[in-house]
Structure 1
Amino acid sequence: MSEEEKIIAAEEKKKQKAIDKEIQTTKRTGKDAPKTHGEILRDQITDAQETYEKSPSSILASSMTAGLEIGFSFLMICSVFYFLEGKMEESSIFKMIALVYPLGFILVVMGQSILFTEQTALLTLPVLNNKRTIGSMLRLWGLVICGNLIGGYMIALLLNWLGPRLGIFNSEVVITIADHVLKAAPHVIFVSAIVAGWLMGLLSWLLASARDTISRIVMIFLITSVMAFTGLHHSIIGSVEVFSGMIKSADITFLDYVSFQSLALLGNAFGGAIFVGLLKYRAFVFNIIGK
Structure 2
Amino acid sequence: MMWNKEKTKEQLEEEQQRRIDREIEKSESQKKDTAKSHGEILREQLSDAQETYEKSPQSILLSSLTAGLEIGFSYLMICSLFYFLDGKLGEDTMFKMIAFVYPLGFILVVLGQSILFTEQTALLTLPVLNKKRDVLSLLKIWALVICGNLIGGYFIALILLWLGPSLHLFDQETVVKIATHVLDFSLGVIFVSAILAGWLMGLLSWLLASARDTISRIVMIFLITAVMAFTGLHHSIIGSVEIFSGMMSSPEISFWDYISFQSTALLGNAFGGATFVALLKYRAFVFNVGGKS
CA deviations over 1:53-108 (Å, ceiling 9, x no partner): 00000000000000000000000000000000000100000000000000000000
| Map of 1:279 onto structure 2 | 280
| Map of 2:105 onto structure 1 | 104
CA deviations over 1:248-284 (Å, ceiling 9, x no partner): 0100000000000000000000000000000000000
The residue type equivalent to 1:204 in the other structure is S
List structure 1 runs of 4+ shifted beyond 6 angstroms.
none
* Distance in 2 (alpha carbons) for counterparts of 1:244 and 1:2: 60
> 3-state SS of the aligned residue for 1:251?
coil
Normalization by structure 1: what TM-score? Answer: 0.99
Q: Which moved more, 1:1-10 or 1:124-133?
A: 1-10
Deviation at 1:27, TM superposition (A): 4.3
* Distance in 1 (alpha carbons) for counterparts of 2:141 and 2:5: 36
Supply the RMSD in Å over aligned alpha carbons: 0.8
Q: Which stretches in structure 1 are left out of the alignment for 5+ residues?
A: none
Deviation at 1:33, TM superposition (A): 1.6
| Map of 1:15 onto structure 2 | 16
| Map of 2:236 onto structure 1 | 235
Answer yes or no: is 1:150 the counterpart of 2:144: no
| Map of 2:261 onto structure 1 | 260
* Distance in 1 (alpha carbons) for counterparts of 2:225 and 2:138: 25
CA deviations over 1:173-207 (Å, ceiling 9, x no partner): 00000000000111000000000000000000000
* Distance in 1 (alpha carbons) for counterparts of 2:259 and 2:48: 32
CA deviations over 1:223-248 (Å, ceiling 9, x no partner): 00000000000000000000000000
Deviation at 1:32, TM superposition (A): 2.8
* Distance in 1 (alpha carbons) for counterparts of 2:9 and 2:180: 54
* Alignment check: 8 A CA contact 1:28 1:35 kept: no
* Distance in 2 (alpha carbons) for counterparts of 1:4 and 1:194: 40
The residue type equivalent to 2:71 in the other structure is I
* Alignment check: 8 A CA contact 1:203 1:220 kept: yes
The residue type equivalent to 1:67 in the other structure is G
* Distance in 2 (alpha carbons) for counterparts of 1:256 and 1:93: 24
* Distance in 1 (alpha carbons) for counterparts of 2:78 and 2:123: 28
* Distance in 2 (alpha carbons) for counterparts of 1:124 and 1:233: 21
The residue type equivalent to 1:240 in the other structure is V
* Alignment check: 8 A CA contact 1:65 1:151 kept: yes
CA 20–139 in structure 1, closer or farther in 2 if over 3 Å, else same: same
Deviation at 1:116, TM superposition (A): 0.2
Normalization by structure 2: what TM-score? Answer: 0.98
Deviation at 1:31, TM superposition (A): 2.6
> 3-state SS of the aligned residue for 1:26?
helix
* Distance in 2 (alpha carbons) for counterparts of 1:239 and 1:5: 48
Deviation at 1:28, TM superposition (A): 3.4
Aligned length: 291
> 3-state SS of the aligned residue for 1:290?
helix
Q: Which stretches in structure 2 are left out of the alignment for 5+ residues?
A: none
| Map of 2:53 onto structure 1 | 52
CA deviations over 1:125-151 (Å, ceiling 9, x no partner): 000000000000000000000000000
Deviation at 1:29, TM superposition (A): 2.9
Alignment of 1:25-40 (within 5 A): 25-40=26-41
| Map of 2:226 onto structure 1 | 225
